[in-house]
A and B are shown apart, each in its own frame.
Chain A
């Protein structure tokens, strides 16, 4: 069975500092990995995804993620955090359809708090 783990419930970082939100995965076969962000009282917004190719994936709002196959990780990063980045971040893995639509399995989420 496919799964993702987000080991930190909350990450605190000062504005201007680099941030990392961790995600590890467990899949059989090739992993297809996604990051979404949820601002308060809003739906999930797509940030980026890894399908194949370059291990460093660039996404929206200056975010990027590094795929590491040997460590089965897909950590989300940003070189310089903004207060407006404060939100709930979800890692997800997609698994192949078995005759029907593809499906996502989500991690439990990590709350990012950026302070001045």
Chain B
């Protein structure tokens, strides 16, 4: 039981390049989330998916797109990377849509945009 896994662990991009961050969970959770972590700002929600086939914007969605490929996988795409997107990205999942549920986090992807 690996929990939440993310690939890659590290990535360096040039401004304007695109890339997709991958996330998978093996806990049969319904909801999945993408956050970014910046110094002094905590974690901010980018996008989330309540269930397979649905996605919604979070607090900071601009410049990102997501795909809930199936129940296990939730990817985050940067179409044209900008230096402001340099951050650590975390994927998380939770069992269902109850707001008392715990979210479980992956190990993160450290992205640098030059």
B58's contact among A9, A94, A103, A107, by CB below 8 Å, is which?
A103
Within 8 A of B (CB), among A76-107: 90, 94-97, 100-104, 106-107
On whether the beta carbons of A97 and B102 are closer than 8 Å, the reply is: no
Total cross-chain contacts (CB, 8 A): 72
Known A100-B50, A101-B31, A103-B58: A43·B100 in contact at CB below 8 Å: no
Min Cβ gap A60→B in Å is: 11
**Contacting pair B90 A97 (CB below 8 A):** no
**Which of B4, B50, B90, B100 has the most A CB atoms < 10 Å from its CB?**
B100
Q: Classify chain B: how many residues form its interface, as a range.
A: 20 to 34
Interface bits A58-90 vs B (CB < 8 Å: 1, else 0): 000000000000000000000000000000001
CB neighbours (8 Å) of A32 from chain B are: 99-100
Shortest distance in angstroms between B8's beta carbon and chain A's nearest beta carbon? 14
